[in-house]
Amino acid sequence: MQIAFFGVGNMGGPMAINLVRAGHQVRVYDLAQPLVEAVVAEGAEAGGTPAETVAGADIVISMLPSAAAVNGLYLGEQGVLKAIAPSALIIDCSTIDAATAKHLAGEAAAVGLTVIDAPVSGGVGGARGGTLTFICGGETDAVERARPVLMNMGRNVFHAGAVGAGQIAKICNNMLLAIHMIGTCEALQLGADNGLDPKVLSDIMLASSGRNWSLEVYNPWPGAMENVPSANQYQGGFAVDLMNKDLSLAMETVLAVKGRAPMGALAKNLYGIHGAQGNGRLDFSSILSMLRAQE
């Protein structure tokens, strides 16, 4: 397949490389040229302009930081929608609000194009290892058409419902992720403050009812686990700024249905403060530092 790939950052870079390794012809575009070069070194082609990037593509994938970036890429005067062949399928893997996903799909349908939303879970490790979970929203035919390509970058492809449903499911997941990461940090800090070794406490909770993903594969306590951001001064991984974006999306989603999510709202407040204290670019497991006991 000829694949156009937009946004080769922490996630998109390794995802595009996995598509190259699966034998696809991949043309990449990013605002940051060094990131494009890193993927070209692995066998992709540099796209040049956005319109050149999509020329002849069977599949167009975007992995961008925000709804504004997604709208900027596809829509408006400079939008790339009008340069994409009608037979192509657009897969937006960015985490954005469901309303923007639906609006994009509507604009695309007006010119005969199909879009699915396919945000991902699994982090940078999952992107590198090709073990991501894709959470799709869109027509069944389109999701099935995307499935083999998505399976080149991941291990699970879920169909959550109509366009936008992938984004809703992703936001529910990330709200829960924020809550259990903060809870995990609180428990580890409480144990440490009372004389326990956080590594031993982690092992105990992993075999007990406190077990969760943050403890299993993303331990926030420096030294408790190798090859995770806490072992690397919280560099790389999933930025606090991006978690704040997701928690804002979660709160918008709650308000839209007059729902209740007090734990999500508290997580949003805590991550908001943590980001405002200059930690926005650190991995989200760095929230541990906010929970340290005061002298």
DSSP state of 72: H
> Is residue 170 among the annotated active site residues?
yes
Q: Is 6 in the site for ligand NAD (CB under 6 A)?
A: yes
**C-alpha–C-alpha distance, residues 127 and 139, integer Å:** 25
Between residues 11 and 288, which has the closer beta carbon with respect to ligand NAD?
A: 11
Whole-angstrom distance, CA of residue 283 vs CA of residue 2: 34
Q: Give the binding range for ligand NAD (CB under 6 A) out of 10-18, 77-85, 147-155, 183-191.
A: 10-18
30 makes contact with ligand NAD (CB under 6 A): yes
Q: Which two tokens stand for residue 193?
A: 């403050």
Interface map 38-77 toward ligand NAD (x if CB under 6 A): -------------------------xxx---x--xx----
Neighbours of 203 (CB within 10 A): 13
Give the footprint of ligand NAD on residues 158-217 (CB under 6 A): none
> Cβ atoms within 10 A of the Cβ of 56, count?
11
218 binds ligand NAD (CB under 6 A): no
- List 25's β-bridge partners, or say none: 2
In three-state secondary structure terms, 92 is strand
Q: Rounded to an integer, what distance in angstroms lies between the CA atom of residue 235 and that of residue 279?
A: 11
Which one of residues 19, 39, 91, 123 is an interface residue with ligand NAD (CB under 6 A)?
123
User: 7 and 64 in contact (C-beta within 8 Å)?
Assistant: yes
Check binding of 242 to ligand NAD (CB under 6 A). yes
- 109 touches ligand NAD (CB under 6 A): no
- Per CB under 6 A, the list member of 3, 7, 224, 254 interacting with ligand NAD is 7
Which of these is catalytic: 170, 199, 245, 268? 170
81 binds ligand NAD (CB under 6 A): no
Residues belonging to the active site: 170
